[in-house]
Amino acid sequence: MSIAKLTLEGKEIELPTYRGTEEELGIDIGQLRGQTGAITVDPGFGNSGSCNSEITFINGEQGILRYRGYPIEELAENTTFPEVSYLLIYGELPSKEQLQSFREKLTYHSMIHEDMKKFFEGYPPTAHPMAILSSMVSSLSTYYPEMAEEDGDLNVLRLLAKVKTIAAYAYKKSIGQPFIYPRNDLSYCANFLHMMFAVPTEPYDVPKVLEDALNVLLILHADHEQNCSTSTVRMVCSSQADIFASISAGICALSGPLHGGANQKVLEMLEMIQQDGGDYKKYVNLAKDKNSDFRLMGFGHRVYKNFDPRATILRKTADEVLNNLGQTDPMLDIAKHLAEVALSDEYFVEKKLYPNVDFYSGILYRAMGIPTDMFTVMFALGRLPGWLAHWKELRDDPHSRIYRPRQIYTGATQREIVPIEKR
Ligand code: ACO
């Protein structure tokens, strides 16, 4: 294995390197501070690996995304969300028996404690469902304390099963409708749509086209290696905080508009462009203007510098679902124009800014009847198995240490306090 050499203030030190299974090269700086007194500085962590992981591989230059070695395109085409969740968390695709047993557990644990229903009453009607979701997930720890490792494993299943119920209840609360209990005869995705859209006064059959689209959406969001929210989950888990605290922190990190919150912002942006007469070129120019802080939401990605494979799949799925439902959506037309202009514009080409997953997911959620402020909750529902897989990987790593980065201090040097009457 090659050795990296660093010359610092006249002293040369050698740093070992190692490669991952996909030939990614890493320089091990574990001894750097001990040998030189120096640290590395990498704000935004664009060049820093925080861990080794066996869960997801991304090659941003080639637009590759694989979960446990399986290409995202094949998983989206051939599997369901519970199968992908099993794959991420336990490392292999389930056998028929394993899937049956997994599904039964996800169904068995899908109700939340009746007392927790009262919590929803305390939130104002304007509460954002992401804030409700993170608080409710954090509150689950009061019902399911982790005394031993087995509790953590059971809580993985509880979280997968209950988060969809909490998400649907948050929506029902926001529109003032009664909560709809989960049904044991429905699949994971159908059950969620049933809890969202059924009402006690009428029969409701979950349309197959929506169930299938939701499976694809959730699979595409299920993991994305060390993104902001997943790193947050690992950060909190590294202190040995319980699983609910770790996942709740991940939900909070996801809510930001530069991360999962972007899907809501994309639709709000498209609505704004439509209301402004549909002049999308004006907004492309605004995004390029250095004096404006407007960004084209749903464009650009820290890792993908060619195309986001999830956006490619979703663009096709959005077309299919809209055709199937017999809907036309002016937002999709604006989105397509925006994507075409941006993809051929020198600024976006040069900076490698391509449509990301959030660009098309909003159009699909909208076609499914999901309100805009629930979009990021849908992202959280999809990302949950990824967070759980990373939580489990870190918990089971005998070499893991608490995450504790260092800093370069740039504040005042030591000084004396001036008595208050003299300040
Ligand atoms: N519109 C216009 N210009 C952009 C955009 C955009 N959407 N994104 C980046 N740029 C420009 C920046 O102004 C910067 O220009 P400069 O070099 O002249 O200063 C350059 O491209 C690089 O941008 P950074 O912000 O440094 O890139 P970074 O990797 O830190 O951020 C991010 C990536 C946050 C995704 C960014 O592209 C962005 O804000 N996009 C819009 C929000 C969005 O869609 N987020 C969802 C991300 S995907 C996800 O979480 C699922």
The CATH number assigned to the domain holding 74 equals: 1.10.580.10
- What residues contact residue 312 under an 8 Å CB cut-off, 6+ apart? 63
Q: Are residues 232 and 178 in the same domain?
A: yes
Residue 353 in contact with ligand 1 by CB distance below 6 A: yes
Distance 130 CA to ligand 1 centre (A): 23
> Which residue lies with its CA nearest to atom 17 of ligand 1?
351
- Whether 358 is a known active-site residue: answer yes
Q: Are residues 234 and 118 in the same domain?
A: yes
Considering the candidates 223, 242, 308, 358, report the single residue annotated as catalytic: 358
Q: Are residues 169 and 209 in the same domain?
A: yes
Quick one: 242 exposed, middle or buried, by C-beta within 10 A (0-12, 13-18, 19+)? buried
Considering the candidates 224, 301, 308, 390, report the single residue annotated as catalytic: 301
Place of tokens 């990605």: 301
For the segment 313-328, what is each residue's pLDDT rounded down to a tens digit?
998 898 888 889 887 7
Residue 259 in contact with ligand 1 by CB distance below 6 A: yes
Q: Per-residue pLDDT for 48 more than 80?
A: yes
Q: Are residues 87 and 47 in the same domain?
A: no
Total structural domains in the chain?
A: 3
In a domain, residue 420? The reply is no
Q: Which of 367, 383, 418 is the last residue of a domain?
A: 367
106: tokens are: 């996800």
> Which residue lies with its CA nearest to atom 15 of ligand 1?
351
Assign 3-class secondary structure to 336-349.
HHHHHHHHHCHHHH
Residue with the bigger pLDDT between 42 and 344: it is: 42
Pairing of strands 70-71, 56-59: unpaired
Q: Per-residue pLDDT for 278 more than 90?
A: no
pLDDT-derived band at 341 (thresholds 50, 70, 90) equals confident
Q: pLDDT at position 200, please?
A: 92
Place of tokens 């990614």: 24
Q: Are residues 359 and 272 in the same domain?
A: yes
**What is the distance between the alpha carbons of residues 124 and 39, in angstroms, rounded to a whole number?**
47
Q: Per-residue pLDDT for 1 more than 80?
A: no
Q: Are residues 17 and 82 in the same domain?
A: no
For the segment 99-112, what is each residue's pLDDT rounded down to a tens digit?
999 999 999 999 99
- What residues contact residue 166 under an 8 Å CB cut-off, 6+ apart? 112, 132, 133, 136, 137
Distance 300 CA to ligand 1 centre (A): 5
93: tokens are: 């695709």
Residue 308 in contact with ligand 1 by CB distance below 6 A: no
Q: pLDDT at position 322, please?
A: 86
Q: Tell me the pLDDT of the chain averaged across its residues.
A: 93
**What is the distance between the alpha carbons of residues 309 and 221, in angstroms, rounded to a whole number?**
11
65: tokens are: 């995304």
As a whole number, mean pLDDT of residues 19-45 equals: 95
Domain that holds residue 33: 3-59
Give the sign of the dihedral formed by CA 351, CA 363, CA 260, CA 123: positive
Q: Per-residue pLDDT for 181 more than 90?
A: yes
Q: Which of 256, 287, 310 is the last residue of a domain?
A: 256
Q: Are residues 286 and 317 in the same domain?
A: yes
- Whether 301 is a known active-site residue: answer yes
> Which residue lies with its CA nearest to atom 14 of ligand 1?
351
Q: Are residues 360 and 321 in the same domain?
A: yes
In a domain, residue 182? The reply is yes
**For the whole model, what pTM was predicted?**
0.92
Name residue 321's amino acid. Answer: V
Distance 350 CA to ligand 1 centre (A): 13
**What is the distance between the alpha carbons of residues 93 and 85, in angstroms, rounded to a whole number?**
9
Compute, in degrees rounded to 10, the torsion defined by CA atoms 233, 257, 266, 65.
-30
Residue 287 in contact with ligand 1 by CB distance below 6 A: yes
Q: Are residues 196 and 126 in the same domain?
A: yes
As a whole number, mean pLDDT of residues 338-365 equals: 88
**What is the distance between the alpha carbons of residues 26 and 20, in angstroms, rounded to a whole number?**
8
Going across the sheet that includes 64-67, the strands are 56-59, 64-67, 70-71
Distance 285 CA to ligand 1 centre (A): 15
Residue 347 in contact with ligand 1 by CB distance below 6 A: no
Q: pLDDT at position 225, please?
A: 97
For the segment 226-238, what is each residue's pLDDT rounded down to a tens digit?
999 999 999 999 9
> Which residue lies with its CA nearest to atom 22 of ligand 1?
351
> Which residue lies with its CA nearest to atom 37 of ligand 1?
300
Distance 133 CA to ligand 1 centre (A): 27
pLDDT-derived band at 306 (thresholds 50, 70, 90) equals confident
167: tokens are: 């998400």
Q: pLDDT at position 339, please?
A: 84
- If you average pLDDT over each of 13-17, 125-129, 331-335, 342-346, which comes out highest? 13-17
Assign 3-class secondary structure to 29-82.
CCCHHHHHCCCCCCHHHCCCCCCCCCCEEEECCCCEEEECCEEHHHHHHHCCHH
Residue with the bigger pLDDT between 318 and 196: it is: 196
Q: Per-residue pLDDT for 69 more than 90?
A: yes
Name residue 171's amino acid. Answer: Y
For the segment 362-381, what is each residue's pLDDT rounded down to a tens digit?
888 988 999 999 999 999 99
Distance 295 CA to ligand 1 centre (A): 8
Residue 351 in contact with ligand 1 by CB distance below 6 A: yes
